[in-house]
Amino acid sequence: MSVLKLKLDQEQLVEDFFEDTWLAGIMSPARDYQLCWQINQQLGYDFRVNNSLEIKLNKQQRAYYFTVLEYEEPTKSAAHYFYNNHCKAEFLLPELKHVDYIWLIKGNYYQAADVKNLIEECRKVELVQLVSLLDMKDIKNKINLIF
């Protein structure tokens, strides 16, 4: 009896997931819930923890859990995901060790000018030290962001 093995095409999965997305890196000494509370208050968002999106990475026989907060804009058909980039001494995206949080915007509503405005508004949040747009080409571990 032969066994049929299916192989997941990770490159296609990554390409599909990141279609119509923008990524921003945020540096902040605050906890994720504190920072998102301020973002919610100042920018009018409603980020909330979504435990079903939590990302588990196994490294060196240990499990690390990375919180993901979510906010969906039904009128704009856009979803926002706010990832914690570190858990204890491990990083979700090791190539971005200087970044504390990753903000992923998914949906075709947002254009470059909209994202630029959003980043400018985010810089005004008291707990934010730095915000910058991230280039997808510079991220080697994109698969870690897929839930």
Give the per-residue pLDDT at 8.
60
Give the per-residue pLDDT at 137.
86
Residue 71 C-beta-side C-alpha neighbours within 13 Å: 18
Task: With a cut of 70, list the residues of the chain below it in pLDDT.
Answer: 1-2, 4-9
Give the per-residue pLDDT at 12.
78
Is 11-145 a CATH 3.30.310 domain? yes
pTM for this predicted structure: 0.88
pLDDT in tens, 113-147: 999 999 999 999 999 999 999 998 889 998 889 87
Give the per-residue pLDDT at 4.
67
